[in-house]
Amino acid sequence: MTIERTLLIRNKLGLHARAATQLAKLANQFDAQVTIVNGERHASANSVLGLMMLESHMGKEIQVIGEGPDAMQALDAIEELVAKRFNEVE
């Protein structure tokens, strides 16, 4: 089963190194393959470098696609992290 959600990047610096690292660490906790898509670009949520190459800035919408046994839990956790602006103080 494949699950897909659209999320809005809300933090000031977007998906920069620290935010990408948090997202990758979180994604690695689940038994799921999670892909992040920004326009024509896509990357594994497990890859910090891949996530940074997406160039996802504040105000951009990203697609989060999950497959695997923990896909729903992974997407819920990622959605919460994005909604909390990657725990950054703005």
Active-site entry in 5, 10, 13, 16: 16
Looking at domain 2-87, which of 3.30.43.10, 3.30.360.10, 3.30.1340.10, 3.40.50.300 is its CATH number? 3.30.1340.10
- For residue 1, pLDDT over 90 is answered with no
For 30-87, what is each residue's pLDDT tens digit? 999 999 999 999 999 999 999 999 999 999 999 999 999 999 999 999 999 999 999 9
On whether the CB atoms of residues 70 and 39 are closer than 8 A, the answer is no
Residue 26, CA distances (Å) to 39, 40 in order:
23, 24
Q: What is the rounded distance in angstroms from the CA atom of residue 49 to the CA atom of residue 27?
A: 14
Per-residue pLDDT, 9: 96
3-class DSSP assignment, residue 34: strand
pLDDT value of residue 21 = 96
- The answer to whether 16 is a known catalytic residue is yes
DSSP string of 38-84, one letter each residue: ETTEEEETT-HHHHHHT---TT-EEEEEEESTTHHHHHHHHHHHHHT
Span 6-33, average pLDDT: 96
| pLDDT given at position 17 | 94
Q: Which pLDDT score is estimated for 43?
A: 98
